[in-house]
Chain A
Amino acid sequence: MKPARVLPLSTLAAWAFALLWALPLLYALWAAFHPAAYATRFEITAPLTLENFEHAWGAAPFPRYFLNTILLVLGIMLAQFVICTLAAFGLARWKFYGADILFALILIQLMVTPDVLILENYRTLQKLGLIDTLVGVGIPYVASAFGIFLLRQSFKSIPKELDDAARMEGASALQTIWRVYLPLAKPVYVAYGLVSVSYHWNNFLWPLIVTNSVETRPLTVGLQVFASVDQGVDWSVICAAALMTSGPLMIAFLVFQRAFIQSFLRAGIR
């Protein structure tokens, strides 16, 4: 059966609502692509320009911030893949002593996320000498309960016979993971990867605390420093900078909309 047709009045409300929802972004796009004089003057004839983007790009070390963010999100993602895969495999396949208690303990981290523990984690990083390093920004997130949970779930659905077959051929645990589990759980890795990258691309508080130099600052912190320190910067340039920092993720989302939504969905329903 097809879903019910939405009533005309309700359709109108939906559209009004969608417009309202899009308004802040449309407004930012308008300001960013027009000269500052037109930032709040809406005329069809207003000339288009990329000047605001050029200005923002040159006024702060955004190229470096981009590099930092890219290194950070990829580094975290790869480290999460390795650490969480190993733990998830152990928990999914082997009934070792204390496995159930361990799993319950891991789930606690779903609630007590690292951003609530900023104070103690900062002191730990101080002791390790990792303040103001990209490793320091990423390390509290590497062992992610969420990732372990997600991967364990999908590993459990892989038939055990495949496992036994691999062992018959003399494959070690690591070889089994690499040859059997990784390929079969690929969609889960894609989903987890997308969620992880979007989370850490957008993460702000922890990198704000840990970083204090251009060489380590990710985009979000760089944008905030740029927007708050430079009083002389006008709104058009700030809007351009804000859109620029979200640009790659937004474009990726627009291109792979379905994959993104599926990933968030898969990741959310536990």
Chain B
Amino acid sequence: MTARRKDRLNIHIQGWLLALPAVVLLAAFTYIPAVKTVIDSLFATQVGSRPAPFVGLMQYESLIADPIFWRALHNNLLYALITVPLAIGLSLAMALWVNGRIGGRAGLRLAFFTPTILPMVAAANIWLFFYTQDYGLLNKIGIALGFANVNWLGDPATALPALMAVTIWKEAGFFMIFYLAALQQVPPDLYEAARMENTGRWQVFRRITWPMVMPTTLFVGINALINAFRVVDQVIAMTGGGPDNATTLLLFYIYQVAFSFWDLGYAAALSTVLLTALAAVALAQFFLLDRKIHYR
């Protein structure tokens, strides 16, 4: 073997050796568990030391017949449908404000961004107080304005929207910074040209700003969508899925089935559904975003 070929062989071996620790850990905690989740969903929950019997699609049959699963899925889709557009709209509005010439810009940016830094559990406990019946601030303001005293988290009609508000409150400021960066990338001569032609503000937004920040909107939208399917902290901290499963979301239900009921086979089937949903988002990202973003 010549020295050159030996060198090249060395590169292949060394390359794999460098990547090896990461590959082992990724396999152990991402790839194998993901595949095993799907396989486990085809088995019954293990009882005692006997191996769990193969049951085919039985877990999925009970899943289809399970009203709580449908409730969780419905809640989750609703959660995504409402929080994603609202978080996008608000974060863009915040970015437009903070990017323009406006008094007290630093204060505005701080007010919008700070919730992002807070742990969700801490935020949830603060909002819990905010929502309390009788003496929570929200009800105090409401009563002063002549509205009824609402048990925000105790009423099935308001509990889920109350959780959505916390999510949007925490997310919007985070997404704002991506819009801010995008707004600063818009070539100034576009606005200059619009000014020459005396274009109205709305037209400028619709014809220049909105199309120019489109890649950011896609990026933010995908991220908000993924987050919507991974919401769980505030459910555990604020409602425990109640009242009457009004705030049960997919990941919370998986957590409950796996770690409160210890029904592992069924939890695996539920996890498979969630993995499928995330895979669908991943595919959407692949087709929508890959044109705009360079991975290499």
Contact indicator per residue, chain A 73-93, by CB within 8 Å of chain B (1) or not (0):
000000000111011011100
List, in ascending order, chain A residues with CB within 8 A of B13's CB.
96
Whether B177 pairs with A265 at a CB distance below 8 angstroms is yes
- The chain A residue sitting closest to B173, CB to CB, is A21
- The chain A residue sitting closest to B294, CB to CB, is A270
Report whether over half of chain B's contact residues are helix, strand or loop; otherwise say mixed: helix
Whether A120 pairs with B40 at a CB distance below 8 angstroms is yes
List, in ascending order, chain A residues with CB within 8 A of B293's CB.
270
List, in ascending order, chain A residues with CB within 8 A of B110's CB.
257
Whether B120 pairs with A143 at a CB distance below 8 angstroms is no
Contact indicator per residue, chain A 230-270, by CB within 8 Å of chain B (1) or not (0):
00000100110111011001100100010011001100111
How many Å lie between the Cα of A7 and that of B136 in the bound state? Answer: 34
- The chain B residue sitting closest to A87, CB to CB, is B22
Contact indicator per residue, chain B 77-117, by CB within 8 Å of chain A (1) or not (0):
00000000000000001100101111110011011111111
Across the interface, B14 reaches (CB within 8 A) one of A14, A31, A90, namely A90
List, in ascending order, chain B residues with CB within 8 A of A114's CB.
29-30
- B74 on the interface (CB 8 Å rule)? no
Query: For window 197-238 of chain A, which residues contact chain B by CB distance below 8 Å?
Result: 198, 201-202, 204-205, 208-209, 219-221, 223-224, 227-228, 235, 238
- A99 on the interface (CB 8 Å rule)? yes
Whether A239 pairs with B258 at a CB distance below 8 angstroms is no
- A72 on the interface (CB 8 Å rule)? no
What is the size category of the interface that chain B forms with chain A? 35 or more
Whether B129 pairs with A250 at a CB distance below 8 angstroms is no
How many Å lie between the Cα of A118 and that of B274 in the bound state? Answer: 12
Q: Beyond A24-B130, A86-B19, is A14–B102 a contact (Cβ under 8 Å)?
A: yes
- A158 on the interface (CB 8 Å rule)? no
Contact indicator per residue, chain B 109-146, by CB within 8 Å of chain A (1) or not (0):
01111111111111101111110100111001000000
Q: Beyond A21-B111, A27-B130, A113-B230, is A223–B22 a contact (Cβ under 8 Å)?
A: no
Whether B14 pairs with A94 at a CB distance below 8 angstroms is yes
Whether A6 pairs with B102 at a CB distance below 8 angstroms is yes
- B65 on the interface (CB 8 Å rule)? no
| Nearest CB of B to A217, in Å | 12
How many Å lie between the Cα of A65 and that of B167 in the bound state? Answer: 25
How many Å lie between the Cα of A219 and that of B109 in the bound state? Answer: 27
Whether B129 pairs with A173 at a CB distance below 8 angstroms is no
How many Å lie between the Cα of A98 and that of B12 in the bound state? Answer: 9
Whether A220 pairs with B28 at a CB distance below 8 angstroms is no
- The chain B residue sitting closest to A27, CB to CB, is B137
Instruction: Tell which of A47-55, A103-111, A179-187 binds the partner.
Output: A103-111
- B152 on the interface (CB 8 Å rule)? no
Query: For window 43-79 of chain B, which residues contact chain A by CB distance below 8 Å?
Result: none
Q: List 9 A-B contacts (CB under 8 A).
A: A1-B191, A11-B97, A24-B115, A83-B21, A87-B22, A90-B15, A94-B14, A205-B255, A249-B119
Give me 7 other A-B pairs in contact (C-beta within 8 A), A112-B30, A112-B34 excluded: A21-B115, A86-B21, A108-B31, A116-B271, A119-B254, A268-B223, A269-B181
